[in-house]
């Protein structure tokens, strides 16, 4: 057994909310410069503990250690640093009614908010929610995934060391139906920020909507990578491998539907399969491992079922498709070969449902319009990548793809100032930059007659 966590329920959430109520008056009136100092100190301490946090993340999640060190933990500190600085520059607006009145807008903290994060990027996404909520002056009830709780626990120690007052951040552990639903339904928690599956998001919305809570739901993705013949071939191939299989494909932004212009389809298929076969799957602590373990037995079995479904639907497995049993300490671990499938149409289950693993499909298109039809065939609309050297075509296609985030000739290049979120079944609301600080505040208009 790796460890144990509390199985929190309503009484634990009640206790956390009571602590937050006591802390809120002082925290919400703390000068932004003082909030900046505390949150920035949290960022510094995350950097100081990078090695320990990265090892904990890898042991908990299964991702390669080099990825935890290079991406997950640095991004967690960047989240705190960004919003610590951002709140110093978060301005209110005024509107002048010439000769009659002046309107000004106050943006005030909501009060107590709930932040629920997933298991795929545990500290990365946990801090992505917590940092803006705290910066805006709210008190937070935060629940990490019960599958990957360790770095959230370690963060609590860092927050105390940084001087965050008691009751301002309350981290509770437990399951979605237990602790999660208690957070969503609690009458004193006024807003919910959630990242996870569309199914769970639907449940949260059904519980929260009748209580008129603010909701930000960042849900699933079935993202297209649109590859035109005139792309920068070498860069495209390298980045498409990365966007397909990074973090074992357990990133909501991964490009799981690869759409390739017909004239280069065979060339792409052969090169992509060769690159995929060369990926090393194994012990996450080994520097040579490009792909680590699947996060849990439940998810491992789900991915294998999805691969079986693809075969049943008539898909051809070009490479992968099997479980792997490494030697050594990981011999009983949950590893799956990176898998490439062709021969399936846009409406099949494999191309419609989020697999959230190292599995991609290939489809070809003849024209720009056909590429758009395939790209928009999914009920999801989170992200897309477009590969072409024709900037006019790139902008034209980007404007018509039904996704909240579009990368042109790159992938996962993130500016924390930009809005982040999806369309359709990929969620509601936007996170990032001023959008996050707006979500975690209430706007109040004050009209002063002259």
Q: Which residues are tagged catalytic?
A: 218, 252
Comparing C-alpha atoms, which of 219, 193, 187, 213 is closest to residue 133? 193
Q: Which segments of 172-232 does DSSP mark as H helices, in order?
A: 181-185, 198-208
Per DSSP, the residues of 332-371 read TS-EE--EEEES--TTSHHHHS---SSEEEEEEESSHHHH
Cα 152 to Cα 3: distance, rounded to the nearest angstrom: 14
> Do residues 399 and 391 make contact, with C-beta atoms less than 8 angstroms apart?
no
69-73's contacts with Cβ under 8 Å and 24+ in sequence apart are 71/124, 72/121, 72/122, 72/123, 72/124, 73/46, 73/123
Paired tokens of 346 = 């846009």
Strand locations in 175-290 (E): 191-195, 214-218, 223-227, 255-261
CB 335 within 8 A of CB 325: yes
Q: What residues have CB less than 8 Å from 90, skipping those under 6 apart?
A: 32, 107, 136, 434, 437
User: Are the C-beta atoms of residues 193 and 114 closer than 8 Å to each other?
Assistant: yes
Q: Which of 154, 340, 180, 317 is nearest to 245 (CA)?
A: 340
How far, CA to CA in Å, does 325 sit from each of 281, 293, 309? 10, 10, 22
| Residues 6 or more apart whose Cβ sits within 8 Å of residue 184 | 114, 116, 192, 204, 207, 208, 213
Is residue 321 within 8 A of residue 277, CB to CB? The reply is: no
Residue (of 274, 259, 263) closest to 230 by Cα position: 263
**Two tokens, residue 408:** 């042109």
Query: Which run of H or of E encompasses 166?
Result: none
DSSP 257: E
Answer for the pair 57, 151: CB distance below 8 angstroms, yes or no. Answer: yes
Longest dimension (CA), the chain: 79
């Amino acid at each position: 057994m790796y460890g144990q966590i509390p199985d929190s329920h309503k009484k634990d959430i009640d206790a956390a909310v009571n602590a937050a109520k006591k802390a809120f008056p002082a925290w919400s009136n703390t000068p932004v410069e003082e909030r900046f100092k505390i949150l920035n100190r949290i960022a510094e301490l995350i950097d100081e503990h990078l090695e320990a946090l990265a090892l904990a993340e890898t042991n908990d999640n299964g991702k390669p250690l080099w990825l935890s060190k290079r991406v997950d933990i640095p991004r967690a500190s960047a989240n705190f640093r960004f919003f610590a600085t951002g709140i110093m520059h978060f301005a209110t607006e005024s509107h002048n009614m010439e000769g009659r009145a002046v309107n000004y807008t106050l943006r005030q903290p909501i009060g107590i908010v709930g932040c629920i994060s997933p298991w795929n990027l545990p500290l990365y996404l946990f801090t992505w929610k917590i940092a803006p909520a705290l910066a805006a002056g709210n008190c937070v009830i935060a629940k990490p995934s019960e599958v990957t709780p360790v770095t959230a626990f370690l963060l609590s120690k860092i927050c105390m060391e940084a001087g965050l007052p008691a009751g301002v951040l309350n981290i509770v552990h437990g399951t979605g139906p237990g602790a999660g639903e208690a957070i969503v339904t609690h009458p004193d928690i006024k807003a919910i920020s959630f990242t996870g599956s569309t199914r769970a998001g639907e449940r949260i919305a059904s519980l929260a909507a009748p209580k008129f809570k603010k909701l930000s739901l960042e849900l699933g993705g079935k993202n297209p990578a649109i590859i035109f013949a005139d792309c920068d071939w070498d860069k495209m191939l390298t980045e498409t491998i990365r966007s397909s299989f990074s973090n074992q494909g357990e990133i909501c932004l991964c490009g799981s539907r690869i759409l390739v212009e017909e004239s280069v389809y065979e060339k792409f298929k052969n090169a992509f399969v060769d690159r995929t076969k060369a990926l090393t799957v194994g012990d996450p602590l080994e520097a040579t491992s490009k792909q680590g373990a699947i996060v849990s037995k439940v998810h491992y079995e789900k991915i294998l079922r999805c691969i079986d479904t693809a075969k049943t639907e008539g898909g051809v497995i070009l490479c992968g498709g099997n479980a792997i049993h490494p030697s050594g300490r990981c011999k009983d671990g949950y590893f799956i070969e990176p898998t490439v499938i062709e021969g399936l149409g846009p409406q099949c289950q494999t191309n419609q449902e989020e697999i959230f693993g190292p599995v991609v499909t290939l489809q070809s298109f003849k024209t720009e319009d056909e590429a758009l039809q395939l790209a928009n065939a999914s009920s999801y609309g989170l992200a897309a990548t477009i590969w072409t050297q024709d900037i006019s075509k790139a902008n034209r296609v980007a404007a018509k793809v039904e996704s909240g985030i579009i990368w042109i000739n790159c992938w996962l290049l993130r500016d924390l100032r930009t809005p982040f979120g999806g369309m359709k079944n990929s969620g509601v609301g936007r996170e990032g930059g001023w959008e996050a600080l707006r979500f975690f505040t209430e706007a109040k208009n004050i009209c002063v007659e002259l």
